[in-house]
């Protein structure tokens, strides 16, 4: 069975230590962390490092580097530095820069900064960004042409961007160090309604097998045994389970049930 990681988006109202401890309490194999480079401190690094050591959880990823025109690359590189200090394996990156050449150049710069850290720079596509689909993402990564570049697949963004699952199956496995996973309603938001797109992505995700996405086909298209970050942003779960640990347990149990049936 795939290793599963606790995505920080499941508990957006909690800090890094609470996130780590919730992941451990629920029996996740790994965890992710949200790193705001402007707010992150050395104290937070020390506390997160201690929590990771105490629980024995590997850190699958840190997020998010959000590229924009005029991006402060120093702040973006700090996310990588924090991840490196905590032993992260990946950093999640998205881009709202309509200039794909600039996006590729900045991704290449981030990959160069990550050299020697053990971190891959994973580009996520989605209609909420300018890298709107799989084809555009692969074009950017081809231009980056650095061994630390990677592609991040998220089922909801695959579906909403109409990216063919058959094409995901053709992606070289070395570009896919991990993937995100969740379910979601079959009904897609209006692609012209940015607010609806964001609500769909941060509030309406569902437990694996409880929505309308073609998860079986996507799962089979991914490299066997790939670690899965369970990116289950859900207002319903936040409302029903205000305790981070209880919310994590519900997500872990549902995910493992779904994976056991594959």
The count of domains in the chain is 1
How many residues in total does the chain contain? Answer: 262
Question: Cα–Cα–Cα angle for 120, 207, 204, nearest 5°?
Answer: 85
Q: Cα–Cα distance between 159 and 215 in angstroms, integer?
A: 10
Q: Which residues contact 195 (CB under 8 A, 6 or more apart)?
A: none
pLDDT of 1 reads 86
Q: Cα–Cα distance between 45 and 34 in angstroms, integer?
A: 12
Q: Which tens digits make up the pLDDT trace of 108-153? A: 999 999 999 999 999 999 999 999 999 999 999 999 999 999 999 9
Q: Cα–Cα distance between 159 and 69 in angstroms, integer?
A: 27
Mean pLDDT (the chain) is 98
Q: Which tens digits make up the pLDDT trace of 146-168? A: 999 999 999 999 999 999 999 99
Sign of torsion, CA 230 235 241 242? Answer: positive
Q: Which residues contact 176 (CB under 8 A, 6 or more apart)?
A: 150, 151, 153, 222, 223, 226
Q: Cα–Cα distance between 5 and 111 in angstroms, integer?
A: 23
Which domain does 152 fall in, by range? 4-260
pLDDT band at 197 (very low <50, low <70, confident <90, very high): very high
Q: Quickly list H helices, the chain.
A: 16-25, 42-55, 73-86, 100-114, 134-144, 155-160, 165-168, 194-203, 215-221, 235-240, 244-260
Mean pLDDT value of segment 173-190: 98
Residue with tokens 């920080």: 8
Q: Which tens digits make up the pLDDT trace of 37-70? A: 999 999 999 999 999 999 999 999 999 999 999 9
- Domain at 195, CATH number: 3.20.20.150
Residue among 260, 209, 203 at smallest CA distance from 232: 203
Kindly report the pTM of this predicted structure: 0.96
Q: Which residues contact 117 (CB under 8 A, 6 or more apart)?
A: 80, 83, 84
């Amino acid at each position: 069975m795939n290793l599963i990681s606790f995505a920080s988006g499941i508990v957006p109202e909690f800090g890094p230590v609470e996130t780590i401890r919730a992941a451990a309490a629920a029996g996740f194999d790994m965890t992710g962390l949200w790193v705001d480079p402007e707010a992150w401190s050395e104290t937070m690094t020390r506390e997160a490092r201690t929590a990771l050591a105490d629980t024995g959880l590997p850190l699958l990823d840190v997020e998010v580097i959000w590229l924009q025109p005029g991006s402060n690359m120093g702040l973006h590189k700090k996310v990588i530095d924090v991840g490196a200090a905590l032993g992260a394996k990946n950093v999640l990156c998205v881009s709202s820069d309509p200039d794909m050449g600039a996006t590729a150049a900045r991704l290449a710069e981030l990959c160069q900064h990550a050299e020697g850290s053990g971190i891959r720079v994973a580009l996520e596509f989605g209609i909420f960004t300018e890298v709107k689909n799989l084809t555009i993402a692969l074009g950017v990564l081809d231009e980056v042409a650095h061994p630390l570049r990677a592609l991040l697949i998220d089922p909801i963004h695959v579906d909403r961007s109409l990216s063919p699952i058959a094409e995901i199956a053709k992606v070289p496995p070395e570009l896919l160090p991990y993937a995100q996973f969740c379910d979601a309603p079959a009904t897609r938001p209006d692609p012209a309604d940015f607010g609806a797109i964001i609500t769909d992505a941060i509030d309406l995700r569902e437990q694996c097998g409880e929505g309308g996405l073609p998860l079986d086909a996507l799962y089979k298209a991914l490299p066997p045994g790939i670690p899965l970050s369970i990116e289950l942003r859900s207002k319903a779960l936040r409302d029903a389970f205000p305790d981070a640990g209880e919310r994590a347990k519900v997500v872990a149990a549902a995910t493992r049930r779904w994976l056991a049936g594959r």
